[in-house]
Amino acid sequence: MSEPLWRTGRWSDEHVELFVGNLLRWGVIIAAAVTFIGGALFLSLHGGRIADYHVFHGQPNALKSVSDVVANALRLQPEAVIQLGLLLLIATPIARVALSLLAFVKQHDRTYIVVTTVVLVLLLYSLTGAGA
């Protein structure tokens, strides 16, 4: 892995791309691992249950907000651990947008600072549930 950007202070496109590539790769690997662990935990405890997805019930509140998912995942509640893995996955493209914003700030590119901020705000608005 290359030196972290904040240490070298070099924000050439090449450095940013390399860093973004690593961020995405590790984001996906970690998200998949957490999801897998939660899934294995769930199946070992409740694998014999009858599957019922035919009728829509919606998820309980404990699995619907970021803070509740994190709190329940820390208690090793299996469904919350899976949901945490899925949240980490949702976070990877958001992190990529955030990193692009930093790069545009470093490049003093005003137009794209505004454009990227709009996209990032929309993403966070959706994730924090302000829009639900």
Partner 1 sequence: MSVLAMTGLVAIGSFAAGMLGALTGLGGGMIIVPMLTLVFGVDIRYAIGASLISVIATSSGAAAAYVREGYTNIRIGMFLEVATTVGALAGAYIAGLISTSAIAVIFSLVLAYSAYRSFQPREEHSIGGPPDKWATRLRMDGTYPTPQGLQPYTVHAVPTGFSLMFLAGILSGLLGIGSGAVKVLAMDQAMRLPFKVSTTTSNFMIGVTAAASAGVYLHRGYIDPVLAFPVMLGVLAGALTGARVLAGAKVRALRTVFTVVIVFLAVEMAYKGLRGGI
Output the six-digit token pair for 2.
């290359």
- Member of 2, 8, 25, 76 binding partner 1 (CB under 8 A): 25
Nearer to partner 1, 3 or 17 (CB): 17
Nearer to partner 1, 49 or 108 (CB): 49
d(CA 70, CA 68): 5
Output the smallest distance, CB 45 to partner 1, in A.
10
76 binds partner 1 (CB under 8 A): no
Angle at which helices 78-106 and 13-46 cross, to 10°: 170
- Member of 1, 6, 75, 131 binding partner 1 (CB under 8 A): 131
DSSP result, 32-49:
HHHHHHHHHHHHHHHTTS
Output the smallest distance, CB 94 to partner 1, in A.
6
Where do we find the tokens 């907000």? 65
